[in-house]
Amino acid sequence: MLGFPCNDFGAQEPGSAEQINNFCQKNYGVSFPMFEKVSVKGTGKSPVYQWLTDPAQNGWNAQEPTWNFCKYVVDENGKLTHFFASNVKPGSEEFLKAMGL
């Protein structure tokens, strides 16, 4: 699991990467790597989100994040296998199944 903070949705993450990481650890128990803040939509979209949201690059998905905490599942071979909206919790049965758990 990897986290890519962004400030594209209601300016919810205006802080630095360190502030966001500390907040996520304290309030959500996040223990996975958190990267620098990126843009996930629009003209400044980061390269990883360009790949995640372009079917010509990833094979099938065009769904951009609609809010923070959207999830993309990439398998051990680098294939994008699933997209989950932010309302799907990481502990949900469907997400765990997609993760092979």
What residue ranges define each of the domains in the chain, with the CATH number in brackets? 17-98 (3.40.30.10)
With CA atoms as reference, report the closest residue to 72 among 95, 101, 45.
95
- pLDDT above 90 as % of the chain: 75
Vertex 29 angle, CA 23 and 32, to 5°: 90
- Tell me which amino acid residue 30 is: V
pLDDT at 66: 92
pLDDT at 92: 96
Flag whether pLDDT at 45 surpasses 90: yes
Flag whether pLDDT at 39 surpasses 90: yes
Task: With cut-offs at 50, 70 and 90, classify the pLDDT of residue 10.
Answer: confident
The stretch 27-52 carries a mean pLDDT of 93
Cα 3–chain centre separation? 6
